[in-house]
Amino acid sequence: MSAPEPLRRSSRPRVRIPGPLVDGRWLADHLADVRVVDVRWYLDGRSGKAAYLAEHIPGAVWLDIDAELSEPASPAAGRHPLPTPQRFAAALGRAGIAAGQPVVAYDDAGGSVAARLWWLLHVLGEPAAVLDGGIATWPGRLSTELPTVTEVARSPRPWPPGRFASADEVAASAGVVLDARTELRYSSGDPALDPRPGHIPGARSMPWAGNLDSDGRFLPPDSLRQRYADVGVGPAIVYCGSGVTACHDLLALAIAGVDDSVLYPGSWSQWGADACRPAETG
pLDDT tens-digit series, residues 137-189: 999 999 999 999 999 999 999 999 899 999 999 999 999 999 999 999 999 99
On whether the 161-271 domain is CATH 3.90.1300.10, my answer is no
Half-sphere exposure of residue 250: CA atoms within 13 angstroms, side-chain side = 31
Secondary-structure class of domain 5-148 per CATH: alpha beta
Its pTM stands at 0.94
List pLDDT tens digits, range 33-92. Answer: 999 999 999 999 999 999 999 999 999 999 999 999 999 999 999 999 999 999 999 999
CATH 3.40.250.10: which residues of the chain?
Answer: 5-148, 161-271
**CA 219 to CA 214: how far, in whole Å?**
9
Residue numbers annotated as active site: 240
**CA 36 to CA 98: how far, in whole Å?**
13
Residue 6 pLDDT > 60 = no
To 5 degrees, how large is the angle CA 180–CA 162–CA 34?
75
CA 159 from chain centre, in angstroms, equals 16
Bridge partners for 87 per DSSP: none
Is there a contact between 246 and 190 (Cβ–Cβ < 8 Å)?
Answer: no
Nearest to 102 by CA among 20, 4, 158: 20
